[in-house]
Copies of this chain bind each other. A is one copy, B any other.
Amino acid sequence: VNEFELIEKLTRSLPTNKSVVTGSGDDCAVLDFGLPDKLLLFKTDAIVEGIHFKTGAPPEKIGHKALARCLSDIAAMAGTPTAALITIALPKKFDETVVEAIYSGINALARKHDVAIAGGETTTNPERMLISVALVGLVPRGKAILRSGAEAGDAIFVTGDLGGSLASRHLEFEPRLAEARWLAEHFSIHAMIDLSDGLAGDLRHILKASHVGAELLTTSIPVSRAAKLASKGESSTKPPLLAALTDGEDFELLFTVASKDAVPVLDAWKKQFPKLALTCIGKITPGEGITLRDKSGKRLLTAHGYEHFAK
């Protein structure tokens, strides 16, 4: 059983109540607390030493990553983060300065996005550090972008470039909060997700939630320099395109819009965010699964994105 199968089983009959607008299965939970014009976003995310960061990684960057991952999920709903609680589980013998540096990384990113760190706790995890962040935020009522709104014919867009994040980017990425809000304010975004499991895996989340398929033009997928470099390294046998499709932790935005909006989105984006690439990588289809298209024809993409329990 892999992570996604287990979650699907566990989430089949969860308790709910009238506050829940969107429960498990999207980037954040969406809750209705009776605010006339806004809904609450609620998200948690944990990173574990040796899994999501190496022992001895710069602690400020560990802190940055812990909060940035959660912020990226708020971005994927086109929301605005408000306040976070930080849980740090530590071995009994820990270096106090490391914990303070982790908080420095968290605090710096929080200040940048006007997020309050409203508390949290420290607890014990004897063998390795674990940091869990819980976040609440707001989104205008009716404006949360879900995974389930993609329609056949939609153009598929991705921000930035993809793959090879493990080299350094996974500890330094900037959550695309302003970009996502701008998109939602100016265009009818049908579906959106942030890339944590890899393009193929996360696109599949949109396809599954929206009951559609996708066709990607392989030559248009923006492959990062890091993915190209990694493919030349001795330890890797992953071609750059496969890295861009399946490496995790890019934390870019993946979204779909009606085909008529494709050119207007691109034009307006270039003026608004000239330093960040936006690329149309394909279209949503009525079928299912992901088809790759290049000059030699079409083939079905079978490689999944990163799954946490898969080995």
The quantity of this chain's copies bound in the complex is 2
Across the interface, do A48 and B111 meet the contact criterion of CB distance under 8 Å?
Answer: no
Binary contact track A15-36/B, C-beta < 8 Å → 1, others 0: 1110110011100010101110
Q: Which residue of chain B has the shortest Cβ distance to A111 in the bound complex?
A: B15
Query: What B residues does A115 contact at CB under 8 A?
Result: 15, 17
A267 within 8 A of B: no
Cβ–Cβ contact A44 & B134, under 8 A:
yes
A152 contacts the other chain (Cβ, under 8 Å)?
no
With both chains docked as a complex, state the minimum distance between the C-beta of A54 and any C-beta of chain B, in angstroms. 14
In Å, the complex CA distance between A120 and B15 comes to: 13
Give the total of A residues in contact with B, Cβ under 8 Å.
68
Query: Is A11's CB under 8 angstroms from B44's CB?
Result: no
- Point out residues on A near B: beta carbons under 8 Å: 1, 3, 6-7, 9-11, 13-17, 19-20, 23-25, 29, 31, 33-35, 38, 40, 42-46, 48, 50-51, 82-83, 85, 87, 89, 92, 96, 99-100, 103, 107, 110-111, 114-128, 130, 132, 134, 136, 138, 308-309, 311
